Amino acid sequence: MRALIQRVTQASVTVDGQIVGEIDQGLLVLICAMENDSDVQADQMAAKIAKLRIFSDDAGKMNLSVRDIGGAALVVSQFTLAADTSRGNRPGFSAAAPPAEGARLYEYFAAQLYAQGVPVQTGRFGADMAVDLTNDGPVTIWIEI
C-alpha cells in the first residue's frame, strides 16, 4: 500500500456538489492499494498512521499522534499514487490493485484505522472527487508498506 499523509487543520471531499466526508484537525490520507496487497498491508498501514507522531506537543516538537490530539482522518482513494512515469510522459497505473480489490482494501483500511481509535470519514471510491484541505505546516509524508 502507498499513502500520502497530510497534516491538516480541515479537509473535505465533495462528490457531485455534495460533501461526502469532512474533518477538522487531523490527517488527510490519500491511499492506494497496490497489485499484490492484502489485508496484512492494510493492517500495517492503519497501525502506522494511527501512531505516526507528526503533531506538535507543548514544546513545539512533532511528538503526538492523531489519536493523542483527538483528531480524525479523511481517507480518500487515490489510485494515481501507483503511477509509473519511468517510460515516457504518460503515467501507467498497472501496479495498482484491480478496481474490485482496490475498493475492498480501501474500505478495509478505513475500518482498520477506525479500529485503531481514529475517527474516520471517507471519500467515495472510483468517484470524481474534489478534495479541499488546509495543510498544516505544511507536513506531508509518503508511506509505503
Mean pLDDT of 108-129: 97
Band of residue 74 on the pLDDT scale cut at 50, 70, 90: very high
Q: What is the pLDDT of residue 52?
A: 98
Domain borders along the chain are 2-137
Q: Give the rounded percent of residues in the chain with a pLDDT score beyond 70.
A: 100
- What average pLDDT is seen over the chain? 97
Termini Cα distance of the chain: 5
Band of residue 3 on the pLDDT scale cut at 50, 70, 90: very high
Q: What is the pLDDT of residue 25?
A: 98
Band of residue 42 on the pLDDT scale cut at 50, 70, 90: very high
Please report where in the chains the cell 455534495 appears, as a residue.
18
Contacts of 50 (CB under 8 A, 6+ apart): 65, 66, 67, 113, 116, 117, 118
Mean pLDDT of 48-53: 98
Task: State the Cα–Cα distance between residues 137 and 127, nearest whole angstrom.
Answer: 29
Residue 118 in contact with residue 67, Cβ under 8 Å? yes
| Radius of gyration in angstroms for the set of CA atoms belonging to the chain, rounded to a whole number | 15
Q: Which residues form the catalytic set?
A: 78-80
Q: What is the pLDDT of residue 46?
A: 98
Q: What is the pLDDT of residue 24?
A: 98
Determine the distance from the C-alpha atom of residue 90 to the mean position of all C-alpha atoms in its chain, rounded to a whole number: 24
CATH number for the region 2-137 comes to: 3.50.80.10
